Amino acid sequence: MKRIGYHGTDQVNAERILREGFKESDKPNLYLGKGVYFFEATGLTRGIPEASEFAHERRHTNQALVICASIECEDQDVLDLVSDSQARSLFQECRRKALELHVRAGRPELSFRDQLIFAIIDRTCKYAVVRCLVEGHREHTYHSYVVRHPQMILCTKAGGCIKHMMIVTDGGGIWKSTN
C-alpha cells in the first residue's frame, strides 16, 4: 500500500517533525487508537484543507502548517475499513460483540464508542496502518445518517511507514522537505 497523507500541526511542531520524525500520539480516546494521524485526498476528500482545519481547531493556532508524507507498507499490514470488505465485516462483528457486552454490563447503548474496538485492535493485532472514512463534523447532540463532511483518515501505527515528508501550503507549494 502506498498513500499520500496530510498532517496538520503548528509551525514549531512541523519543524520538529521534519528534524526528528513523528512521535506516535498516546493520548487516550483517540478515534483509531494510538498512532500518527493523516488525512488522505480521495474522490470524496481533499486532504490538505482537512489537515489545516484540524490544526487550527486542535492546536488553536493561526500558524497552522500541513505536512505531506508518503505512507508505505505491505498490503497485509493495513486494516482498510474502506476498500476491504472482509476487514469491514470483521470490524462489524467485533463491534457487534463488544456492544452486546457493553449493554449486558448495564451501560447505555448510546455511550458505546468505536474507540473501544480500536483499543482492542491495538492490543491484539499488529497493523501498521488503519484506514477509515469518518464524519468530520461530530456533534454529540445531533445524529444524522447523512455524511456531510467526509474525511479519509490514515492512522499509522509504525513510524517506518512514514516516508518523504514535506511541508505544503493550500496551493500545493513546498516550503521545506525531507526524505
Find the domain containing 46 and state its range: 2-80+126-177
Among 3-7, 29-33, 34-38, which is the least confidently predicted range? 29-33
126-142 pLDDT per residue, tens: 899 999 998 876 555 55
pLDDT at 154: 95
Q: How confident is the model at residue 29 (pLDDT cuts 50, 70, 90)?
A: low
pTM to 2 decimal places: 0.86
- Is residue 97 situated within a structural domain? no
Residues 150-159 have a mean pLDDT of: 89
CB 90 within 8 A of CB 30: no
Grid cell for residue 128: 501498521
Residue 43's CB is within 10 A of a number of other CB atoms, namely: 6
- Is residue 107 situated within a structural domain? no
Residue where the block lists cell 463491534:
95
- Is residue 86 situated within a structural domain? no
Average pLDDT, the chain: 85
